[in-house]
Amino acid sequence: MSRLEQQLAFIVEIDKLKHIYRKTKVIGAEGLGDRRFENSAEHSWHITLMAVVLLEQSNATVDLLKVIKMLLVHDIVEIDAGDTFAFADQSNKAKDEAAAAERIFGLLPTDQRHEFMTLWQEFDARESAESHYANAMDRLMPVFHNMNNNGGSWAEHSVTRAQINKRLSPIDEGSHEIWQVVQKMLDNAERLGYLKP
């Protein structure tokens, strides 16, 4: 298979991300009679654009192109592994996602396979400035979804403030300013009864 054929096979394969639905519903759709869940491709697009818009809020100077690439590849593994709810059992997640990364990135030519695998691993490791900022963006968007859908999956699954703080704490690693805003939003979520005491 030629390099171009490998690249095109990968591009066709990743279209499947549009069929992976997350546990949060899209914002504002209830007014249209549509309460559908967001898919992982929409999520990846939205947080990537958010990373561009909010770049000045990053705690550190980051390579924006690297952040963009990270955000575009970080959920591709969900094609095989599915989307795991943040507050559900995560015991098989790492193994399932690693196998998915091997298969899906394995469709690419060797150099791109290595680049995408490295970006995916760096995102998960949360050790670089870019991965801190990328993870902040990834964890921020569901806050907006839940706050704009009457508590959304938080209310539906009786999620507590302590659980939310633990899950969202990487936002502070990427942006102290955004973390302060999120804390105010969570205070409001408690007042509105979206979070279990």
Q: Is residue 120 part of a domain?
A: yes
Domain that holds residue 149: 3-191
Residue 197 lies in a domain: no
Per-residue model confidence (pLDDT) at position 30: 64
User: Residue 196: inside a domain, yes or no?
Assistant: no
Query: Which pLDDT does position 92 carry in this prediction?
Result: 86
Would residue 178 count as lying in a domain? yes
Backbone angles phi, psi at 23, to 5 degrees: -95, 5
Question: Which amino acid is located at 108 in the chain?
Answer: L
Q: In the chain, how many domains are there? A: 1
Name which of 136, 20, 21, 122 is nearest 70 in CA terms.
122
- For residue 8, being part of any structural domain is answered with yes
- Are 149 and 194 contacting, i.e. CB atoms less than 8 angstroms apart? no
Cβ 119 vs Cβ 135: under 8 Å: no
- The helix (H) or strand (E) run that includes residue 39 is strand 37-39
Does 121 fall in a domain? Answer: yes
- Residue 190 has φ and ψ, to the nearest 5°, of -65, -45
Under 8 Å between Cβ of 46 and 141: yes
| CATH classification at residue 25 | 1.10.3210.10
Q: Which amino acid, residue 11? A: I
Closest alpha carbon to 48 in 109, 136, 113, 112: 136
SS3 category, 91: coil
Q: Is residue 3 helix, strand or coil?
A: helix
State pTM to two decimals. 0.94
C-alpha 180/C-alpha 11 separation (Å) is 38
Instruction: Write the pLDDT tens digit of every residue in 142-178.
Output: 999 999 989 989 998 999 999 999 999 999 999 999 9
The single-letter code of the amino acid at 38 is E
Query: What pLDDT is recorded for position 110?
Result: 98
pLDDT given for residue 33 in this prediction: 62
Give the H or E element holding residue 62.
Answer: none
Q: CA 166 to CA 140: how far, in whole Å? A: 13
The per-residue b/e assignment along 68-86, b for 16 or more CB within 10 angstroms, e otherwise, is bbbbbbbbbbbbbbebbeb
Q: Which residues of the chain have a pLDDT value below 70? A: 29-34
Within a domain: 133 = yes
SS3 assignment, position 21: strand
Query: In this structure, what token pair is assigned to residue 105?
Result: 């990135």
Which pLDDT value is given to residue 34?
65
